[in-house]
Chains A and B, each alone.
Chain A
Amino acid sequence: MKRRRALLPLPERAARMLARFKSIRWLDEDEKALFALGFAATPEERWKLVRNHIQLFNSSAGSKRRV
């Protein structure tokens, strides 16, 4: 039976992913960092990141609608 390794913290995983993109020339560093964060995160973490981002603007999901 395979043992599951404990998941590293997201910033560490993102840094490792970013290191893989080092040789890529067709993306900016900012874009690479964003993709690295996206790919390194688990689906739950991705969902949270986007929801937090939306809540910053108080525009949709998670914010109380005004009636």
Chain B
Amino acid sequence: MLVGMSAANLQGILVSTVDVDVWIGLPSRRYMTVMNLCRKLGANVRSQNKAYLSDDTPVDFIYEVTGLPAFDREYERAIRLPFHGLKIPVLPLDRICKSKLAAGRDKDKLHILLIRQALKLKRGTIGKRRVARPAKRAMSKPPVSKPK
């Protein structure tokens, strides 16, 4: 699942990010499975969790994300976006913001601000949908007990 600012980028936030963060739903001790797959795909493996793809895109593999529950739970609510002819799971903006808040790094402060602005804009303008409101029922007045 795509996480980090590259995931935010795919959801409409134009911000530069150096590498692509991919959250792997495996325990970190199984990093060799991922690295072997990278080698098969012709990537240049640099360390346990970093590889450069054939087009020189740096990819970071993450096995645990600060502030978020287990992979499976997040994967269920991931957004599927069309990319390079595939539908890839992407962590929603509010979850990216949550993980960045939990990490508490200085470099994330601008990203958090941008994500919040984007979410506010989406809710305010793009996400406006006509929601059918339930018809107002005539409130039946409760019987008033007459004073004796």
- Which residues of A are interface residues toward B (Cβ below 8 A)? 20-21, 24, 27, 31, 34-35, 37-39, 41-44, 46-47, 49-50, 53-54, 59-65
Tally chain B residues at the interface, Cβ within 8 Å. 28
Asked if A39 and B121 sit within 8 Å, CB to CB, the answer is yes
10 additional A-B residue pairs with CB within 8 Å, beyond A39-B121, A43-B83, A60-B58: A24-B125, A27-B117, A38-B12, A38-B13, A47-B10, A47-B83, A49-B14, A50-B14, A61-B56, A62-B56
Q: A35-B117, A62-B57 are in contact. Are A47 and B9 (CB under 8 A)?
A: yes
For the complex, give the distance between the alpha carbons of A37 and B82 in Å: 18
Mask for B6-39, Cβ within 8 A of A = 1, else 0? 0001111111111110000000000000000000
Contact (Cβ within 8 A) B118 A35: yes
